Structure 1
């Protein structure tokens, strides 16, 4: 039986994305352009890796930012507008509905857009470990969620937000706890960036940050 997944990946407008990382790209100068470029690089690396993962049939970004849409189109990644524009969970429900309109039997998954070290093989291993069940992968702190997949024929039922791993567990989503550090390493802070860099950043994030991380700011 095939457990292939169609992934929806929400990407915030760049001017609102990753507020806790403001200053990380430019030694604390907090330049909006540098910050937007960093946020976009994180998303591009995530989506590129996700599209290459075994078990992933389709990857669609959910975004209303035209700059994001254009950049992803150049990578061959499709996107749909975040028409509800009323929060992460509503965006994911909207994306799931759109994908199901194309294929009512599609198995839907949600992936966070801030996984710049993501290795396709690790995402593929996590999807295989779900074995068709509704399941989720906690972040490296064990409280958040980086990946949520619906069960075969089931609804995604996203519960992202504070303590989302506990919320997903409480609604029946199996916890995926295998050896896939790049899938669990979402990036919200400079410390997270350093952990991701140690795992190996994707090309786009690496171009923005690797030299900066190796050479401390003055």
Structure 2
């Protein structure tokens, strides 16, 4: 699952990063959507991933993800990220009671499918998580086939997930650990190589 906020509320610390003097009022929302589309595209191509679902109540996001072949399920309005993930996990488990569920942050525009697949393989079927580049947040959370996802996203989520029994995955997966919240993060992701949606948005010619 990849949770995607309503675009007008997403990535507030990136305000201005996509505009760069163009005075385009839709630039920020378009960048937030591009980050999610690149994340979803990589996830859909990762070894070990059978199905990718976006959790969103934003009609524009739901339409855009359908265009890249990804299904969506509605969020619980006002419930927050962890509630959205628990809701999505319940729906997926209802469809397949033995499914192993993963939650992936929607702001990984440099994500490589092979790195995500390697992290999933390294988890060896157990409940696990991948810390972000700073080591405090979480970019990926995995359930086991018999345990709940039990998400604890938010400040200090890596420690919270470890405390809840999700083993930390610390492999050499820079694109999986590089979530983007600030312009500095975006610069680091660009050095790794952005996906086509994000790179196209940032390199789009000025009107």
Tell me whether the two structures share a fold, i.e. TM-score over 0.5. Answer: yes
Q: Structure 2 vs 1, CA of residues 179 and 210 (structure 1 numbering), >3 Å: closer, same or farther?
A: farther
Root-mean-square deviation (CA, aligned residues, Å) is: 1.4
User: Normalising to structure 2: TM-score of the pair?
Assistant: 0.96
Q: Is the 8 A contact 2:129 2:141 kept in 1?
A: yes
Match of 2:50 in 1: 57
Partner of 1:165 in structure 2?
Answer: 158
State yes or no: 1:203 paired with 2:196.
Answer: yes
1:39 correspondence with 2:32: yes
SS of residue paired to 1:64: coil
Shift of 1:170: 0.6
Query: 2:181 is paired with a residue of what secondary structure?
Result: coil
Mapped to 1, the partners of 2:21 and 2:185 lie a distance apart of: 16
Structure 2 distance, partners of 1:18, 1:68, is: 14
Partner of 1:175: 168
CA positional deviation for 1:27: 1.7
The number of residue pairs the alignment matches comes to 205
Query: What is the deviation of 1:26?
Result: 1.1
Greater CA drift, 202-211 or 129-138 = 202-211
- Any conservation in 2 of the 1:62–1:80 contact (CA below 8 Å)? yes
Quote the offset at 1:32 in angstroms: 3.6
- Give the conservation status (yes or no) of the 8 Å contact 1:23–1:29: no
CA distance in 2, matches of 1:92, 1:142: 21
The runs of 4+ residues in structure 1 deviating greater than 3 Å are 28-32
Task: Please list every run of 5 or more consecutive structure 2 residues that lacks an aligned counterpart in the other structure.
Answer: none
Question: Which residue matches 2:179?
Answer: 186
1:81 Cα offset (Å): 0.5
1:91 aligns with 2:84: yes
Alignment counterpart, residue 72 of structure 1, candidates 42, 61, 65:
65
Cα distance in 2, alignment partners of residues 170 and 162 from structure 1: 14
After the TM superposition, which of the residue ranges 30-39 and 57-66 deviates more from structure 2? 30-39
CA distance in 2, matches of 1:48, 1:13: 19
Q: Secondary structure at the match of 1:16?
A: coil
Change (3 A) 1:92 1:41: same
Aligned equivalent of 1:25: 18
Following the alignment from structure 1 to structure 2, what is the Cα–Cα distance between the partners of residues 181 and 100?
A: 30
